[in-house]
Structure 1
Amino acid sequence: MTVRVVYLCEGSSDEGISFHIEQIAAECNVDIVLSIPDFRLLPESFEKTVAGKLEAVQKLGGNYDLAIIHRDADRDGTGARRGEIERAISQVCPEMDFVCLIPVTMTEAWLLLDEDAIRQVAENPRGRMPLSLPRAAHVENIADPKQRLKEVLALASDLSGRRLKDFQKRFSQNRRRLLEQLDRNGRVADVPSWRSFREELEEALARVSN
């Protein structure tokens, strides 16, 4: 059977994870159709909570077997985010299977591990400036991985002045490219939040495809 999956991401730059969802499903020999609702098309009054997004999906006529819900842990922690997701599912669509995608503390932490990808996205693949990237075991302890990623990309670009400012304005696009290029079998596989997401997704795909 074909599994109907809806991915509720926090922002458009997180859509790059969809590639990995599809690839993990393929590795599990599960055929999926993945949908990513564009909540930017909804009125400003739209409630941007997990429950609000699930309600919007239902109102739009979505009929899915599995929901993948992305919420950065931020300062609230993994447990609080998982509880938030579980309550929303129970309230809005208790019959739907779901997977929690909860980076610690932000998705950017996952992107700080691949030096080659960072140099490629920084458009300076032969750069030799030391980037001092964190180890996988420590990356989830970084207080502000988004700011750290901005600094690392700027350093890897080896740009200065106006050219650096122009490059930094493209952070959202560069972040998305890094997410798409993420080596899910590389160093990120040693990060607990990524490993938890992947294991949870594989288990959910096995359940809903039977």
Structure 2
Amino acid sequence: MTLRALYLCEGPSDTGLRFHIEAIAGEMGRDIHVTVPDLNRLPNKPGHSVGDKLRAARQLSHGADEYDLVIIHRDSDGNPPQRRRDEIADAVAAVNPNLAHVPVIPVRMLEAWLILDHAAIREVAGNPNSRVPLGLPKPNRAESVADPKALLKQAIATASEEKGRSLKKLQARFSENRARLVQMLDREGPVKQLASWQSFTHDLSEALSCL
């Protein structure tokens, strides 16, 4: 049986996580189809709350029972992860009470998962053979970085070794490069050491086992 999953992410450059969801399910011997709805297609764009997004996704679906599972990405943004877990659980209970759910809660934001793969950063920067130091943290410090998004953007710029107009063009493609990094994320790499990644993969595996 193919499981039907809904993935609600925070932004368009986060959609690549669907490939990791599908791969993790595949490793468990489960077939899953992940839908990432474009909520901007709606005449009235939803708010940023989980409940708003769930209600908007229902408008785009054929009914409340279309999915077996919903995976919801919500950056902690400095909040305790448990607060985000409760926020997600409460929203699902209010909008789709019979739907299994998996929270995805990077600390502080998803970029904390991306700043650990130096080789991938050098590749998206267009300079894979670069050896210039990137000033990135070790895994045990990645989730303590105050602004991992800014750090990632700076690391890509540093890895590129570009200057002037070429550097500006590269920085203008940050969202595109960030999306590539999400897809390229090495699930067996340093990210495995992060508590938020461990929680996500554990919760996903548990949900898949129960369905």
User: Above 0.5 in TM-score?
Assistant: yes
SS in 2 for 1:48: coil
Can you give the 5+ residue segments of structure 2 that lack an aligned partner in the other structure? none
Task: State the Cα distance separating 1:13 from its structure 2 match.
Answer: 0.3
> Residue 98 of structure 1 aligns with which residue?
101
How far 1:42 moved relative to its partner?
Answer: 1.4
C-alpha separation in 2, matches of 1:102 and 1:141 = 14
- Structure of higher RCO (CA pairs closer than 8 Å, 6+ residues apart): 1
Task: Choose which of 155, 158, 164 in structure 2 pairs with 1:155.
Answer: 158
Deviation string 1:64-93 (CA, Å, 9 cap, x unpaired) is 000000000002231221111011011011
Check the 8 A contact 1:5/1:35 in 2, yes or no. Answer: yes
Aligned residues: percent identity? 50
Q: What is residue 40 of structure 1 aligned with on the other side?
A: 40
The C-alpha deviation readout for 1:8-62, integer Å capped at 9, x for no partner, is 0111100010110010000010011111110111124533321111112222225
Instruction: Please list every run of 5 or more consecutive structure 1 residues that lacks an aligned counterpart in the other structure.
Output: none
Task: State yes or no: 1:10 paired with 2:10.
Answer: yes
Q: Which residue among 83, 86, 90 is the counterpart of 1:83? A: 86
75, 82, 85: which is aligned to 1:72? 75
Pick which of 72-81 and 97-106 moved more. Answer: 72-81
**In 2 relative to 1, CA 115–88 (structure 1 residues): closer, same or farther, beyond 3 Å?**
same
| Kept after mapping to 1: 8 A contact 2:121/2:159 | yes
In 2, are the aligned partners of 1:50 and 1:85 still within 8 Å (CA)?
yes
Note if 1:111 corresponds to 2:107: no
Counterpart Cα distance in 2 of 1:50 and 1:199: 21
For 1:55-66, list aligned pairs within 5 A: 55-60=55-60, 61-62=62-63, 63-66=66-69
Are residues 1:22 and 2:26 paired? no
Q: Match for 2:181 among 175, 178, 181?
A: 178
Amino acid at match of 1:32: I
CA RMSD in angstroms comes to 1.0
Residue aligned with 2:182, SS: helix
> Is contact 2:39–2:45 with CA below 8 Å preserved after alignment?
no
Q: Once the two structures are superposed, what CA deviation does each residue of 1:82-140 show, in whole Å capped at 9, x if it has no partner?
A: 11101101101110000000000000010001111111110001112111221111100
Give the TM-score normalised by the residue count of structure 1. 0.96
